[in-house]
Chain A
Amino acid sequence: MLAGAVLAVAAGMAPAADGTRPGDPKNGEAIYARCLACHALAYDRTGPRHCGLFGRRAGSVKDFGYSEAMKHSKIVWTEKTLDHFLANPLAAIPGTAMGYAGVTDAKERADLIIYLKQANRSPSCRK
């Protein structure tokens, strides 16, 4: 079990937010395609950019037009807070502009989050 976790981390994977399963960034990239009507990694669109997401206070990207609910949510984006939000955005932050039912599958959220973490270390986020 522990050896498996070590191998997973070594392979660029990470434990799920609930600690039950390592995330798969390749699958996460495919899941991220669902977000591409509104989001991009490096620039703001209908939704804010995802570069710099981890550790960022929700609603704090400069000049982005957030909902009041997001601006006042006092959330700081971590694996845990992101996992909670993505499961059901409208329940997590009532009044959010992200009118989306969510990524209800915990495994898919783990994959998506580890992809976002990996993407945040990529050159496209380091510009």
Chain B
Amino acid sequence: MSFLILANAPNALEARRAFLGNSGLLLSGAVVALLAGKDSLAAAGDPSTDSDVRILNTALGAELEAIAAYQVGAESGLLQKPVLSLAVTFQGHHKEHADLLSKTIAKLGGKAVTAKAKYTFPTETLKTQTDVLRFAATLEKGAVSAYLGAVPVFGNRDLAKAAASILGDEAMHWAILRNALGEIPVPSAFMS
């Protein structure tokens, strides 16, 4: 089974843990920079700020859905360790993204969206660990594209930088999920 690529590669797993740990440090750096840069954040009511808040809220909505999706995966009983641990770790990253986005929206004078009471997922198609991994990979790849499309349209470049930091994290998730599926982790030199 493809996830055995993880189970049978202790050195790779160790390296990945260190990799993920470092990525957390990088994101933390962006968070600090964003929250510390109070002067660079415009007041609510400015058209550019209103647009940024809308973009952030859309990203927050997607992050909250991703958290719920990983919860479904973790509770499905289909994931075995170390894949289960990986899913929980990635869910934790999405929680950090959501927390940052929510705080930033509030700081800009906006109202952050909250998690929906219920999400729709294609659970009828999730029968095996591979199905769950493939579904998660699809969401992560989409997240990379979504952030890639958001970075250029932020009015505030600090927000673009923070979004790019999240983009990098989503790309790592996607690559590792592909690796767990036995696919080439990084299939091309560019993302779109």
| A residues in contact (CB < 8 Å) with B | 31, 33-38, 40, 43-46, 67, 90, 95-102
Contacts and interface: CB of A to CB of B under 8 A. Distances in A.
Residues of A contacting B: mostly? loop
A123 to B, nearest CB: 13
B57 A97 contact: yes
B142 A99 contact: no
Contacts of A31: 192
Give chain B's interface residue range (CB within 8 Å of chain A): 20 to 34
A37 B143 contact: yes
B54 A37 contact: no
Interface stretch (B27-35, B73-81, B144-152): B144-152
Residues of B contacting A: mostly? helix
B57 A45 contact: no
Nearest to B47: A94
Given A37-B139, A38-B62, A46-B61, A99 B145 contact: no
Contacts of A95: 51, 54
A101 B62 contact: no
B146 A45 contact: no
Interface of B: 51, 54-59, 61-62, 65, 119-120, 122, 138-139, 141-143, 145-146, 149-153, 192
12 contacts: A33-B138, A33-B145, A34-B149, A37-B145, A40-B120, A46-B58, A46-B61, A90-B153, A99-B59, A99-B149, A99-B153, A102-B149
A37 B146 contact: yes
Closest 10 CB pairs of A and B: A99-B55, A37-B142, A36-B142, A34-B145, A100-B149, A37-B146, A46-B61, A43-B120, A37-B143, A101-B149
Nearest to B143: A37
Contacts of B55: 99
B133 to A, nearest CB: 15
A36 B137 CA distance: 10
Nearest to A39: B142
B141 A100 contact: no
A26 B150 CA distance: 25
A50 B139 CA distance: 17
Given A33-B142, A38-B58, A99-B153, 13 more contacts: A33-B145, A34-B142, A34-B146, A34-B149, A35-B142, A36-B138, A45-B65, A46-B62, A99-B54, A99-B149, A100-B149, A101-B149, A101-B150
